[in-house]
Amino acid sequence: MSQKTASYESMKAEHAWMVVSDQLQQRNNVLGRCIAHLERFPAETRMAGRLMVLRYHLKMSLRQLTQSVHTTPRATDDAQILARQWQHVHQLFFLLRQIDAEFNRATDDSATLRTWLTTQNSRVYRSALIHLN
């Protein structure tokens, strides 16, 4: 996310982008660990497959968002640059909410997943709502 000048607003947008990007990476890591855990249980292969699809959706959505940012004509003034930064942050945050909602549904549906998650470091899977509001 390049820009011509650094302002307080552009730095806030950059910080929000870093937070939501970090949260998405954490979700990717958690999904990978959940899939690996569930694959150990033959009865949970369906749930592991569901989480694989969710992880694939996360990766493909990120790829599409990144490509759209790079193919959009470059903004020329600071206001346009800032607006595009925030638009990208909001798109990433929407994706994060989608991933969280589906992951929560999966957790509700699988006792094995729910039990295993209680043994994990809960700090890793925190909400980004606090940071972005």
| In the chain, % of residues over pLDDT 90 | 61
Cα 88 to Cα 133: distance, rounded to the nearest angstrom: 15
Q: Which of the pair, 90 or 68, is modelled with greater confidence?
A: 90
Residue 64 burial (CB count, 10 A): 12
Residue 82 burial (CB count, 10 A): 17
Q: What is the mean pLDDT of residues 49-78?
A: 86
- Report the pLDDT value the prediction gives residue 128, as an integer from 0 to 100: 45
Cα 10 to Cα 28: distance, rounded to the nearest angstrom: 27
For residue 124, pLDDT over 70 is answered with no
Give the pLDDT band (50/70/90) at residue 98: very high
